[in-house]
Amino acid sequence: MKKLIALVLSAVMIASLGLIAFAANNITQESDPKKSDVIVRTVIPPSSESYTVQIPADVEIPWGDSDVRDMNPKVTCQLRLGAKLTVTVTDSDSTNTLKNADRTAGLKYTPTGLGVAYQFKEISNDAIPNDTANTVSVCVPSFAGVPIAVYQTDLTYTVDYTAPAP
């Protein structure tokens, strides 16, 4: 008797499971395996991009010192995919001459990396690579024949942000 009751209850349970499966017969099922029932996406707040460009402050060269002085900017950024920063360093005086205060005397210097557009991608925490071909630096090769004075020039760092293509 117990076996018969167990068999009847099992049949009733199996029949009730079938009712749930056939309850929604007006829903069509997608057969495309690339589609998903759940879509997850991130929402980008308008102010989520950020970048910082650290530019070297005044660089002092001791009189008679012909060592190369690093002038590389350091870029830290987190941008949208496809965006980039471009940093270009130029000299206000294209003669490569440091001038004294009243601009009556000049001291020749050798720059490297001026006018080159250095590009930084979406994620960066770097200075310009430290090799001779891709560095911004200045050097005074000789102090001979020039009166002792304070000489200076201004370097201009231009930062351009390029938005990603839509």
Q: Which amino acid is at 42?
A: T
Instruction: State the total domains in the chain.
Output: 1
Task: Confirm whether 91 is domain-assigned.
Answer: yes
pTM of full prediction above 0.95: no
d(CA 122, CA 49): 9
Task: Confirm whether 10 is domain-assigned.
Answer: no
Task: Confirm whether 115 is domain-assigned.
Answer: yes
Please give the residue range of the domain that contains residue 77.
50-58+65-162
Question: What pLDDT sits at residue 44?
Answer: 65
Task: Confirm whether 29 is domain-assigned.
Answer: no
Look at residues 71, 164, 76 and name the one whose alpha carbon lies nearest to residue 120. Answer: 76
Burial class (CB in 10 A: 0-12, 13-18, 19+), 87: buried
pLDDT tens for 107-155 read 899 888 888 888 888 887 776 654 446 678 889 999 998 899 898 888 8
Q: Which residues on adjacent β-strands are paired with residue 156?
A: 90
Q: Which amino acid is at 89?
A: V
CATH number (domain holding residue 110): 2.60.40
φ and ψ of 123, to 5 deg:
-120, 125
pLDDT tens for 64-117 read 999 998 888 888 888 888 888 888 888 877 788 888 888 878 889 988 888 888
Task: Confirm whether 30 is domain-assigned.
Answer: no
Mean pLDDT along residues 24-35: 52
